[in-house]
């Protein structure tokens, strides 16, 4: 196995976030499930957009956010996902490249417009996502850049893509390429409803192909029909090499066979917008994991990155995370493997 | 003269702001004049966009910001300006309508893309604007909706448009329509460099057609080649009915013939982004002026609206200004004309 020249390749939905404030009554009036992600079609997207308030556009997408987090930490990251050759596609492409992430997948020249997620932020700072996948849904095996997957220590996949058959095929292909090259595969479960929809398929994929799984408490409990977090923890540790389980303000638990670490959340002055917390935790953990940090310190870097992203609006880091991490992770370098 | 059914019609460049952080060294390397607005062509826009960091898109344009401020105060506002039928045009249209502003100008079906202003925010919170006008430059007399101008107490024009001959013709046409209907015309000088480029033309337009002029200190000094603010004040009061002169943290001076008022700036906890301060001062003043407030209280509403917009990123109000004004302007209602 040759040395990796990329730390992480992230595969996910290429989306532009359209953020607006909304009252709870707006969610009720439009039948929007609070706090989760709902897939919507183009007609519904246009209808909701007409009804919602003035918005701000900012590049997003779960795995795209993770890729920018890895780059912000000083890691080498690439992103695989699909946009159209329209203005939103140009915005997505600019933003991820400007963050230092390689993004070389060909833009679709026809078909649906670049995908977007209309994120309604209620006064309690919760966000409810309404995602029109658009061009992202056409991501398939042909879009997997083999050389990048071979070159990356970890290929990380966003569970949200599991809804799309071509993307699922791309996941399987990327897993074969990565493992044949002696690399690792990582998956985030993304959403408890998605886990429910594809429970058996996802369990099978995790067991057979995933080396590092990311999940929050709800997602991992859903995957194993576990009554509580501890039961899910015991189930997942039998199924993949490393599991990084996040629990919001309760911090995270990293489990790798016999090795178990409890990582506290990093306190933040004010939680402004929780969008991207899980994405940035994954970024920090994977940066640490691919750069010789211990599992515990990798989890701590994840917590620092998540803490940064929830302290401002938007799901990508605003501060250079490398400097922030160096300041907060004072003991980490001494503990490098 | 019939009662007006619109308070303010705002004519200006329809632009989407593309905001990114930048170091001073970036401005120097790319020859960007700090703190002012520079018009750029499409090639330069693409070049700068490639070079700059990850950005956030948010609808802007000086007069568009003013229109949303009037609506946020509870006033009736319309906007006249030009976008193309592209995604940025759809974003601009959504945002201004969602803010409660009528925007009924036909979208261009061909020609340049919707205009944008790339705003680089340096660590000292100053912003340097690089504007590609795109479709906005094609705004002309045919786009002036006569019924709206006739129905509006004030038609307000953004000086930035003076660079475009068709827009200048549209200004003259709107002034004729408004005055024939017994309405008032207002102009903001927008930019000291623009004032320098068109000094004689602008002085002539102000003298002959403008009832209410808005200018900051630099702009009004430039118009009259005045050595200091007081000299400019004396010059402008001879030339139009009302002048509202803004001086950042020094507040504003409202002058109308013999009547002169000094309005203090509203203190804000932290100045986050000064973009839109002048636009929102104009919004507050015009809302007051068209709703029976005294000149002094109109200036105070302007100061309150400007204070809100500089306390967050983006050039349009985030809070409902009506409630904010009611809270802060406790004595204003008693003082209504």
Question: Would you state the pLDDT for residue B271?
Answer: 86
pLDDT at A308 over 90: yes
| The predicted structure's pLDDT at residue A4 | 86
* Tens-digit pLDDT profile for residues A177-210: 999 999 999 999 998 889 999 999 999 999 999 9
Query: From CA B322, how far away is CA B337, in angstroms rounded?
Result: 19
State the pLDDT at residue A220.
95
B1 — pLDDT class (breaks 50, 70, 90) = low
Token digits for A282? 């994954």
Closest chain A residue by Cα to residue B88: A87
The two counts, helices (H) then strands (E), for chain B are 13, 13
Q: Which residues of A touch B86 (CB under 8 A)?
A: 86-87
pTM given for the model: 0.91
Q: CA A193 → CA A198, B66, B219, distances in Å?
A: 9, 43, 58
pLDDT for res A314: 85
Per-residue pLDDT reduced to its tens digit, B53-109 = 999 999 999 999 999 999 999 999 999 999 999 999 999 999 999 999 999 999 999
Name B259's Cβ contacts closer than 8 Å, sequence gap at least 6.
B295
User: Measured between beta carbons, which residues in chain B are less than 8 angstroms from residue A48?
Assistant: none
How would you label A279-295 residue by residue, b for 16+ Cβ within 10 Å and e otherwise? bbbbbbbbbbbbbebbb
For residue A95, list chain B residues with Cβ-Cβ distance below 8 A. Answer: 54-55
B contact residues 106-145, partner A, Cβ 8 Å cutoff: 113
Task: Show the domains of chain A with their CATH numbers.
Answer: 6-14+61-112+134-335 (3.40.1190.20)
pLDDT at A3: 82
Cβ distance A57 to B52 less than 8 Å, yes or no, reads no
Provide the chain A residues 295-324 that lie in CB contact (below 8 A) with chain B.
Answer: 314, 316, 318
Mean pLDDT across B17-40 = 93
A72 touches chain B (CB under 8 A): no
Q: Report CA Rg, chain B.
A: 18
pLDDT band at residue B273, thresholds of 50, 70 and 90?
A: confident
Nearest-CB residue to A56 (from B57, B99, B113): B57
* Res A332 pLDDT > 70: no
Share of chain A above pLDDT 90, in %: 82
Is B337 a residue whose pLDDT tops 70?
Answer: no
The answer to whether residues A15 and A163 touch, using CB atoms and an 8 Å cutoff, is no
DSSP string, A178-221: HHHTT-EEEEE---HHHHHHTHHHHHHHHHHH-SEEEEEHHHHH
Describe the strand order of the beta sheet including A56-60 as a list of residue ranges.
A37-39, A127-134, A114-121, A15-21, A56-60, B56-60, B15-21, B114-121, B127-134, B37-39
Residue B331: pLDDT over 90: no
Q: What is the pLDDT of residues A50-59, one digit of tens each?
A: 999 999 999 9
pLDDT category of residue A61 using cuts at 50, 70 and 90: very high
Position B333 confidence tier, pLDDT thresholds 50, 70, 90: low
Least confident of A221-225, A268-272, A278-282: A268-272
DSSP state of A112: S
Q: Do A86 and B88 touch (CB under 8 A)?
A: no
Tell me whether strands B259-263 and B252-256 are parallel, antiparallel or unpaired: antiparallel
User: Over the stretch A112-160, which tens digit does the pLDDT of each residue have?
Assistant: 999 999 999 998 878 899 999 999 999 999 999 999 999 999 999 999 9
Q: Which of residues 266-295 of A touch B (CB under 8 A)?
A: none
For residue B117, which phi and psi values (nearest 5 degrees)?
A: -120, 115
Strands, E assignment, chain B: 6-11, 15-21, 37-39, 56-60, 77-80, 114-121, 127-134, 152-158, 184-188, 212-216, 242-246, 252-256, 259-263
Return the percent helix, strand and coil in chain A, to nearest 5. 45, 25, 35
The string of DSSP letters for B272-332 reads ---TTHHHHHHHHHHHHHHTT--HHHHHHHHHHHHHHHTTSSSSS-SS-HHHHHHHH-TTT
pLDDT > 80? residue A333? no
Q: For A14-47, how does the pLDDT look when each residue is reduced to its tens digit (9 = 90+)?
A: 999 999 999 999 999 999 999 888 999 999 999 9
Q: Is the pLDDT of residue B321 over 80?
A: yes
Per CB-CB distance under 8 Å, the chain B contacts of A68 are 54
Task: Report pLDDT for A62.
Answer: 96
Residues in chain B closer than 8 A to A316 (CB atoms): 54
The CA angle B135-A41-A44, to the nearest 5 degrees, is: 75
Q: A275 or B171: which carries more pLDDT confidence?
A: B171
Say if the Cβ atoms of B316 and A88 lie within 8 Å: no
Please report which confidence band the pLDDT of residue A331 belongs to, taking 50, 70 and 90 as the band edges.
Answer: low
Single out the residue of B4, B15, B247, B227 nearest to residue B130, CA to CA: B15
Look at residue B334 in the predicted model and tell me its pLDDT.
52
The reported pLDDT for the residue numbered B282 is 98
Which of B53, B56, B86 to mutate to test binding with chain A, by most A CBs within 10 Å of its CB?
Answer: B56
Interface probe, candidates B15, B51, B87, B113, chain A, greatest A C-beta count within 10 A: B87
B163/B133 Cα distance (integer angstroms) = 10
User: With 90 as the cut, is the pLDDT of residue B313 above it?
Assistant: no
* CB distance B277 to B287 below 8 Å: no
Band (B126; pLDDT cuts 50, 70, 90): confident
Model confidence over B275-293: pLDDT tens digits?
Answer: 899 999 999 999 999 999 9
Tens digits of residue pLDDT in B208-264: 999 999 999 999 999 999 999 999 999 998 888 999 999 988 999 999 988 999 999
Residues of chain A above pLDDT 70, percent: 97
Q: State pLDDT tens for residues A76-121.
A: 999 999 999 999 999 999 999 999 999 999 999 999 999 999 999 9
Question: What band does A251 get if pLDDT is binned at 50, 70 and 90?
Answer: very high
């Amino acid at each position: 196995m040759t040395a990796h020249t990329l730390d992480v390749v992230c595969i996910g939905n290429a989306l532009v976030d359209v953020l607006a404030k909304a009252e709870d009554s707006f969610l009720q009036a439009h039948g929007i499930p609070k706090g989760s992600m709902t897939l919507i079609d183009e007609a519904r997207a246009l209808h909701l957009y007409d009804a919602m308030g003035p918005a701000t556009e900012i590049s997003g997408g779960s795995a795209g956010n993770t890729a920018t987090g890895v780059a912000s930490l000083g890691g080498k990251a690439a992103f695989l996902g699909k946009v159209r050759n329209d203005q939103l596609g140009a915005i997505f492409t600019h933003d991820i490249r400007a963050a230092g992430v390689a993004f070389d997948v060909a833009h679709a020249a026809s078909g649906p417009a670049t995908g977007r997620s209309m994120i309604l932020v209620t006064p309690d700072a919760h966000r409810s996502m309404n995602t029109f996948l658009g061009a992202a849904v056409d991501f398939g095996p042909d879009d997997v850049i083999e050389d990048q997957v071979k070159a990356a220590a970890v290929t990380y996949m966003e569970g949200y893509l599991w809804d799309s058959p071509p993307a699922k095929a791309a996941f399987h292909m990327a897993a074969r390429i990565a493992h044949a090259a002696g690399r690792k595969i990582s998956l985030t479960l993304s959403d408890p409803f998605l886990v429910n929809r594809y429970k058996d398929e996802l369990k099978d994929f995790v067991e057979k192909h995933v080396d590092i799984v990311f999940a929050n408490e709800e997602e991992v409990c859903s995957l194993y029909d576990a009554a509580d977090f501890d039961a899910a923890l015991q189930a997942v540790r039998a199924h993949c090499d490393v599991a990084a389980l996040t629990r919001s303000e309760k911090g995270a638990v990293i489990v790798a066979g016999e090795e178990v670490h409890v990582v506290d959340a990093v306190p933040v002055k004010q939680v402004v917008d929780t969008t991207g917390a899980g994405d940035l935790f994954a970024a920090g953990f994977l940066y640490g994991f691919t750069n010789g940090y211990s599992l515990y310190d990798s989890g701590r870097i994840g917590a620092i990155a998540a803490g940064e992203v929830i302290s401002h609006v938007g799901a990508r880091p605003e501060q250079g995370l490398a400097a922030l991490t160096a300041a907060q992770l004072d003991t980490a370098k001494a503990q490098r493997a």
